[in-house]
Structure 1
Amino acid sequence: MMLQARHGEAYQPRADGAGLSAAADGGTAPAQGKLLQLAEMMLRKRHAEVGLASSEALMVLIEVLEEQGKHAAAADLLQGDAGKLITLEADRRRLVASLRTATGDHEAAAAEHRALLEANPDDWLAIVGFIDATLGADPGDTQLEVCERMVEQLATTAQGMPRGGKLRGPRLARCEMALRRLRVAASGGGDGAAAGATAMALADVVACYVEAHGQLASAAMDITEYTRALREGGHTAAAE
């Protein structure tokens, strides 16, 4: 986990207590809980007295908090002075967003992803993270419109940057939002005309992406999920 955090890979908070507590050899759950509480107390005491010495020490405390289900406390810690031990802001914000998601605070998670996009409109992890956090488990028109406005803001930001027209993220984000619309239409049992129009919208933005970036070796892989959804008429999109 510490290597993931340091190298910027996606960080997934533990929701099942499957890390430090599961590693205790033969202990009962109450005993494991007491060990975690003791570890937290010792680490917090050190933090209060002399501070944490490194990002690794911080991540140990974060994991101890996670194992106890204290995701909000872990996120608060990262957003305080201790979080500065993680020197890359993008890594820190992704950690906070993951922890806020684990608590069910999707609005706070979306805000972290949005901050990343203000700095870099080509950050694909932040684009998908914002969309996932905003749509949640039950996406509706209001949430979809919020995401679509964000996507158009990315395009505007990119236009004001040197070589911003070369960025793949904003155009690919339009494909992603069209796919999300198609998923909602395919799962909602609406009329065929509306579903067909949604599929056409996806086809249009995929064509625009190919026109702008089709010369890149990665282009075919970038749009695989979207072309597959078009071939299968949205049925696969609805099932995912």
Structure 2
Amino acid sequence: MSRAALLVLADGRFPAGGHAHSGGAEAAVRAGRITGAADLEEFCRGRLHTAGLVAAALAAAALLGVRPGELDAAADARTPSQALRATARRLGRQLMRAGRAVWPSEELDALAREFPKGAHQPVVLGLVARSAGLTAGDAAYCAAYESVGGAATATVRLLSLDPLDATGVLARLAPELDRVADAAVAAAQRVPSDGVDALPTASAPWLEVAAEAHAAWPARLFAS
């Protein structure tokens, strides 16, 4: 296992398309739900314990060998918004392209054939992490961090927020990120005996509703 591989995969500069997405932050800024660092922290905390937990568990389960088709269907069931499902598949396709270039494997090739239009991003993330020689915990951490890191970075651009304040938000959330990653791995480990129903189903209805509205905006800075 290479810790350096985890740093590469979790780096915001990894060419998987995440920089074009705000994780709902753009809609939240326009709605007045994020106006500064304090609001950003609460927004990220909500994402971490809902979308972040679900994504982390899916990624960990994929790394542990649960069938990708089964996990992709589970991800669909946990994503009511068509706009967010489309975003997850688009990001999955982009991550697949990057993952196959950096850590090529027959498993990734097979996933690309099974889902030519893209599987859900967390499912792809789990298999990319396995191709990189990482653990289920690593995959869960990467997914959980992405769930808040993208929103924090986007808010810097959307509000001209001081990057130090945005980074402070992520640092303060670190203990909670630890707990979410641990819970995600524990849930993923139960799938072989209990099925995909063992995976978290935490939801954030406002994010789902806002994503549908955001997708219809005639002009926006971020894709989602």
Coarse TM-score class (shorter-chain normalised)? under 0.3
TM-score (norm 1): 0.23
TM-score (norm 2): 0.24
Higher Cα radius of gyration: 1
Q: Point out which structure has higher relative CO (alpha carbons under 8 A, 6+ apart).
A: 2
